[in-house]
């Protein structure tokens, strides 16, 4: 699509089509085509946006996008952007907000602080507009190519995560039976490995001899997957087992400096990744946020198949509720079985999975 632009530093710029409308309907909608202020402290220019689309792995339809989804989202915004949010999220009534947030408003009369309207709650000042967020998409919105990621279900963590096996196992078996891709990550840090960084400094240098420093793996075979969730030989040969040194599993690299997961997920045409395992407040939250924010991947969290060794489970899941769809393992398996064979719901991997 050709785009004409008038540029003046610090002045509003109007964009208008001089070519195909790309399905955007009423190009005069001011809430869609807003004034622009290109510059170092303002908006991107059209050429900068084109460059980002070409290189950013989180932009749908881009040449380097990791997730395969291309929903032509701009057309969806033009078609529905003038509609209100569903009642479940956006601005919500006080009683509903307090119930969901677990926060009590002490003084509901807003006060102004540097241009922000805030109210006093039992957890301090919060914005007066009472906002609640949740992911807007649903599984059935479009056909999907799923991948399952089993995070840190390893022998060293059995005392903390072993109770999740009965919930992870049915999903894991369903993926394998359907020839859908399964990836695994196991925490591969050892006290003397020399791979130190900011994470080590965060967890500290003490408690290693006693095995209480959670940064490291201690058992002789502690890094091995739990035997109930052992990768197949084919999965191991295909590189679906990630020996991990990062909370964000997309950050784990091979010896050539390439992300282990990124190219495999891209090659399989995956657009939605399902997360199980732990810890929810560390590896899971880091991986989920990166997948949504920077990989163009929708994320499903299986609530009964995720856990952590700390009291932060609910808090982490609440944070992720605005960006992920959260289901039980049983609900997700039922979805797969209900729509088995339906190309309108489930797509096979783009390349063969053993």
The arithmetic mean of pLDDT across residues 304-319, rounded, is 96
Write out the DSSP string of 145-206: -EEEEEES-BGGGHHHHGGGHHHHHHHHHHHHHTT--EEEEEE---TTSS---HHHHHH-S-
Q: Where in the chain is the domain with CATH 3.40.50.850?
A: 139-188+223-338
Listed in sequence order, the residues at least 6 apart from 1 whose beta carbon sits closer than 8 Å to its beta carbon are: 17, 19, 20, 21, 22
pLDDT tens digit sequence for 201-217: 999 999 999 999 999 99
pTM for the full predicted model: 0.88
- Give the Å distances, CA to CA, from 255 to 196, 248, 259, 260: 17, 17, 10, 10
Q: Which of 143, 175, 145 is nearest to 268 (CA)?
A: 145
Q: Are residues 296 and 323 in contact, defined by beta-carbon separation less than 8 angstroms? A: no
How far apart CA 210 and CA 208 sit, in angstroms, is 5
Q: Specify the CATH superfamily of domain 139-188+223-338.
A: Isochorismatase-like (3.40.50.850)
Is the pLDDT assigned to residue 1 strictly greater than 80?
no
Please provide the average confidence, as pLDDT, over all residues in the chain.
90
pLDDT band at 17 (very low <50, low <70, confident <90, very high): very low
- Give the Å distances, CA to CA, from 126 to 28, 109, 118, 223, 315: 36, 12, 5, 43, 17
pLDDT band at 249 (very low <50, low <70, confident <90, very high): very high
Q: Are residues 110 and 118 in contact, defined by beta-carbon separation less than 8 angstroms? A: yes
Is the pLDDT assigned to residue 64 strictly greater than 80?
yes
C-beta pairs of 136-140 under 8 Å, 24+ apart in sequence: 136/86, 136/89, 137/298, 137/325, 138/325, 139/272, 139/300, 139/325, 139/335, 139/345, 140/339, 140/345
pLDDT of residue 97: 87
Is the pLDDT assigned to residue 132 strictly greater than 90?
no
Residue 302: phi and psi, rounded to 5, are -95, 105
Q: Are residues 122 and 104 in contact, defined by beta-carbon separation less than 8 angstroms? A: yes
What count of residues does the chain have? 354
Burial of 102 (0-12, 13-18, 19+ CB in 10 A): exposed
pLDDT tens digit sequence for 74-123: 999 999 998 887 766 678 888 988 988 889 999 889 999 999 999 999 99
User: What sign results for the dihedral spanned by CA atoms 305, 309, 310, 316?
Assistant: negative
């Amino acid at each position: 699509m050709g785009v004409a632009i008038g540029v003046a530093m610090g002045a509003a710029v109007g964009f208008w089509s001089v070519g195909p409308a790309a399905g955007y309907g009423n190009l005069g909608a001011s809430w869609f085509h807003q004034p622009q202020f290109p510059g170092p402290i303002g908006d991107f220019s059209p050429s900068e946006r084109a460059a980002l689309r070409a290189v950013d792995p989180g932009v749908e339809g881009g040449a380097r996008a990791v997730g395969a989804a291309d929903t032509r989202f701009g057309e969806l915004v033009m078609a529905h952007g003038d509609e209100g949010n569903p009642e479940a999220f956006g601005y919500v009534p006080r009683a509903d907000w307090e119930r969901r947030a677990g926060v009590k408003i002490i003084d509901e009369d807003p006060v102004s602080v540097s241009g922000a309207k805030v109210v006093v709650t039992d957890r301090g000042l919060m914005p007066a507009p009472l906002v609640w967020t949740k992911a807007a998409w649903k599984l059935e919105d479009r056909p999907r190519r799923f991948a399952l990621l089993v995070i840190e279900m390893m022998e060293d963590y059995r005392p903390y995560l072993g109770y999740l096996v009965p919930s992870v196992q049915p999903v894991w078996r369903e993926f394998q039976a359907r020839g859908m891709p399964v990836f695994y990550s196991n925490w591969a840090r050892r006290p003397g490995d020399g791979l130190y960084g900011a994470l080590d400094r965060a967890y500290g240098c003490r408690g290693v001899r006693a095995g209480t420093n959670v940064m490291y793996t201690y058992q002789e075979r502690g890094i091995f997957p739990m035997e109930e969730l052992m990768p197949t030989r084919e999965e191991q040969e295909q590189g679906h087992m990630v020996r991990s040194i990062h909370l964000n599993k997309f950050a784990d690299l091979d010896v050539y400096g390439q992300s282990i997961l990124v190219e495999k997920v891209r090659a399989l045409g995956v657009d939605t990744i399902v997360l199980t395992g732990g810890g929810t407040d560390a590896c899971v939250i880091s991986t989920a946020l990166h997948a949504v924010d920077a990989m163009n991947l929708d994320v499903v969290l299986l609530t009964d198949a995720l856990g952590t060794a700390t009291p932060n489970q609910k808090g982490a899941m609440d944070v992720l509720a605005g960006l992920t769809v959260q289901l039980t393992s049983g609900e997700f398996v039922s979805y797969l079985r209900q729509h088995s064979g339906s190309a309108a719901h489930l797509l096979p991997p783009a390349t063969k999975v053993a």
